[in-house]
Structure 1
Amino acid sequence: MPRYRRANVEINEQSYLPAIRMAMKLLAKQEVHIGMQGDAELAMIAGVHEYGSAKMGIPARSFIGSGLKKSKAKITKLVRADITDIMHGRGKSIPAFLDEIGELGKQITVANFDRIKKPGLSPIYAKYKKQEGGGKKLLQREADLRESLTYVKVWK
């Protein structure tokens, strides 16, 4: 279920309310989804890393959910700073505004992905990876996962 936050739009005696109402309706019918896109195997790997797997003994290493939590405050600040001008038809368009939100959320999620260090590898698996020449990387297909992080604009 989507969550909504309030952002106040300033209205004065020169505001044209029908245009503001139309802009609000248009904006309310769109969402920005930040996540990953890829093939079925990559989606399965991302799901296992995001939520963990008791069956495979893999702890959760959330990179999407935790990245979105970290981006919430900056996205809220961006919306509050720009919403009045957008509703009055000044400055950027609604699609450009949604792209800006998506890009900001994506950047923060990618930066969060790059900082994943915990939980570390189990000693047994770390030893196995060292023998196989795998290094200390926590995530499988790390480069593919990082490149698959994206955003999409969706009509409700």
Structure 2
Amino acid sequence: MARRRQRSTRANVTIDENSNIPEITRALERLAAKEAHIGMQGDAELAMIAGVHEYGSAKMKIPARSFIWVGKKRSTAPIKKLVKTKIQGIADGSVSPDDLLREIGEIGLERTLKRFDSIRQPPLSPSYKAVKTGRKILLRDKDLRDSLTFKIVQKGGAT
């Protein structure tokens, strides 16, 4: 059985004799129990279209034009930077875990939307380009973009 590699990034927190360790522990546990999910919400047809664009379709000869995965990848560095700057606020009680999670979701959504707006590759096939109207690559472009959202959920998927 292969072991899964995990990476961790350290963020320094300063505590002193006036720090309330039990309260810090509770805040960090609340933060660790939730996560921000960035994705799309919509009807079944829109979900299918998003899936085809995200992963491609060999049957329909549509290449992958990932916007969610690439958006997630591009948001990793700014989210790490945000957490490093805000974790001290969690420890001293000036930042709530829910506010930090909301900021993480907003950064992830912003980067995903940015990626969505910049999709130009791979180009359309010449045969499809000949029958397609408009300049946008993605089908139902506005509906897909408007359906992108984030949600804060308990780890394990429960809301």
Instruction: Tell me, yes or no, whether TM beats 0.5.
Output: yes
Counterpart position of 1:149: 148
Q: Structure 1 residue 18 and structure 2 residue 18: aligned?
A: no
Displacement of 1:102:
0.6
- Percent sequence identity is 55
Counterpart position of 2:107: 104
C-alpha distance in 1 between matches for 2:41 and 2:23: 36
Counterpart position of 1:53: 57
Displacement of 1:107:
0.8
Q: Quick check: 1:32–1:98 contact (8 Å CA) kept in 2?
A: yes
Aligned partner of 1:80 among 84, 89, 92: 84
What TM-score results when the alignment is normalised by the length of structure 1? 0.90
The residue type equivalent to 1:139 in the other structure is L
C-alpha distance in 2 between matches for 1:146 and 1:51: 17
Counterpart position of 1:93: 96
Aligned partner of 2:72 among 63, 68, 77: 68
Aligned partner of 2:122 among 119, 133, 136: 119
C-alpha distance in 1 between matches for 2:31 and 2:56: 35
The residue type equivalent to 2:99 in the other structure is A
* 5+ long unaligned stretches in structure 2: none
Counterpart position of 2:39: 35
Displacement of 1:28:
0.9
Secondary structure of the corresponding residue to residue 80 of structure 1:
helix
Number of equivalent positions: 150
C-alpha distance in 2 between matches for 1:15 and 1:154: 29
C-alpha distance in 2 between matches for 1:116 and 1:87: 40
Change (3 A) 1:13 1:4: farther
Displacement of 1:84:
1.0
Change (3 A) 1:5 1:36: farther
Q: Quick check: 2:109–2:148 contact (8 Å CA) kept in 1?
A: yes
Displacement of 1:78:
0.5
